[in-house]
DNA sequence: ATTGATATGGAATAAACGTTCCAATACAGG
DNA sequence: CCTGTATTGGAACGTTTATTCCATATCAAT
């Protein structure tokens, strides 16, 4: 029988995700990884493949987690404005941690999408996924009379998604928590 | 007397700006520059300094141009909704050129702001500048009765700025012109 | 204890990178 | 024609990078 793995493969992937989120892909060297993960070079190669594969795995995980998070938040049947405010607030909290790393998906869309087809595909998936969840939750709110039925739920969802992208950029580069909150309040006014 | 410069220093800086916008800073090699600018390595060093200096010069220029562009668009005293729609439309056109490079400021905010103090400073300047122009134009529209005076022009301006950031990301990674237009239409509804 | 997988650290490799140095050429004025 | 600057191409340098190779040590089960 083989020796048991000494590090938690999933846990270390999370750490890698965090390193990439803070430093970006190109700006992260393998030494940054070995140091940040507390795992040797060779073990990283054996377990995840090369730097690209590790990054893609991290981004895929981030994507899944993100969609779960959005889905969970939107399952709440409180008033739609409160639900969306909670969703945005949760995202801002996540993006504005110590060193405000922003959103890995947003960062990757900007840094890598033009050069990396897989990242581009994941970005599409992210956009379609989040927009879809938002649109269907908005549809529910419309049926329950919370939002004017004349509004286009798909267009609303896209607008909110684009707003999220902007908040991701702002949290990484400007990092003013309060103004993000203000913007969320404003964005929610499009619900009428 | 010296030999006259054979390339237009300002024109070449614009070309460098474009290369950086499409490829990003780290992803742009010096060979990319010499090829993209049609100027030799040595001439680039003699004229602009090293890669960092060239990039910073390009970003500063982009910042100035951007503020001029916004100022010019906002000088128009047509109805505020038309003016803002025109501003956003102009930005989207610029961001969605062939190969949809997005916005150099947004790209730099994401890629470099955490690691480069000068980029961070320019980002702050950009945010303050655009937000300021928007807020003052919104104030005018309020005084002319186009917008409810109870609304906070500064918060509105920040919201529109954050929306612009989001459109920059979307244009670079998703590049669907139509949905960007939809989002702009939605965003303008916060004016009431 | 042997086996077989796990993990590590260090050396080695090969490529890419930013940068500098150098020799050669082009050219506008005195 | 000179002189001084502009410009170029290529070589060279030193660094960093991702990746692979290897020898070694660890450990769980048979």
pLDDT tens, position by position, A17-63: 999 999 999 999 999 999 999 999 999 999 999 999 999 999 999 99
Mean pLDDT for all residues in chain B? 96
The model's pLDDT over B106-118, given as tens digits with 9 standing for 90+, comes to 999 999 999 999 9
Checking if the pLDDT of B7 tops 90, the result is no
Write down the pLDDT at residue B5: 64
Of B27, B174, B185, the CB nearest to A127: B174
Residue-wise pLDDT for A163-182, tens only, equals: 999 999 999 999 889 999 99
Q: How far is A80 from chain B (nearest CA, A)?
A: 17
Chain B nearest CA to A6, separation (Å): 33
**Spatial distance between the Cα atoms of A74 and A91, rounded to a whole number of angstroms:** 13
User: What is the CATH class of B59-191?
Assistant: mainly alpha
The interface predicted TM-score of the complex, written ipTM, equals: 0.95
Q: Which residue is nearest to nucleotide C18 (CA to C1')?
A: B30
Radius of gyration of chain A (CA): 19
User: How far, rounded to the nearest angstrom, does the alpha carbon of residue A69 sit from its chain's CA centroid?
Assistant: 9
Closest-approach nucleotide to residue A44, Cα vs C1': C7
CATH class for the region spanning A60-191: mainly alpha
Tokens of A43: 């073990």
Q: Given this model, what pLDDT does residue B93 score?
A: 96
Chain A CB within 8 Å of residue B103 CB: no
How does pLDDT run across B13-39, given as a tens digit for each residue?
999 999 999 999 999 999 999 999 999
Query: Cα(B108)–Cα(B120) distance, rounded to whole angstroms?
Result: 9
> Is the Cβ of A59 closer than 8 Å to some Cβ of chain B?
no
Residue A131's contacts (CB-CB under 8 Å, 6 or more residues apart) are: A154, A157, A158, A161
Rounded CA-CA distance B66/B54 in Å is 18
């Amino acid at each position: 029988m083989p020796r048991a793995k000494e590090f938690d493969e999933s846990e270390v992937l999370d750490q890698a995700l965090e390193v990439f989120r803070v430093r970006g892909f190109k700006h992260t060297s393998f030494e940054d990884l070995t140091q940040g993960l507390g795992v040797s070079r060779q073990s990283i190669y054996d377990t995840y493949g090369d730097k690209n594969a590790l990054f893609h795995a991290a981004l895929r995980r981030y994507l899944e987690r993100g969609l779960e998070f959005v889905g969970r938040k939107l399952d709440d049947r409180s008033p739609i404005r409160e639900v969306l405010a909670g969703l945005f607030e949760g995202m801002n909290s996540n993006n504005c941690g110590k060193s405000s790393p922003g959103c890995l998906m947003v960062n990757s869309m900007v840094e890598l999408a033009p050069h990396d087809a897989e990242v581009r595909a994941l970005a599409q998936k992210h956009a379609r996924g989040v927009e879809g969840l938002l649109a269907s939750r908005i549809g529910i709110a419309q049926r329950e009379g919370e939002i004017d039925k004349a509004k286009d739920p798909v267009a609303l969802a896209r607008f909110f998604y684009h707003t999220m992208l902007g908040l991701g950029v702002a949290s990484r580069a400007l990092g003013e928590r309060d103004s993000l909150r203000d913007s969320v309040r404003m964005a929610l006014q499009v619900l009428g």
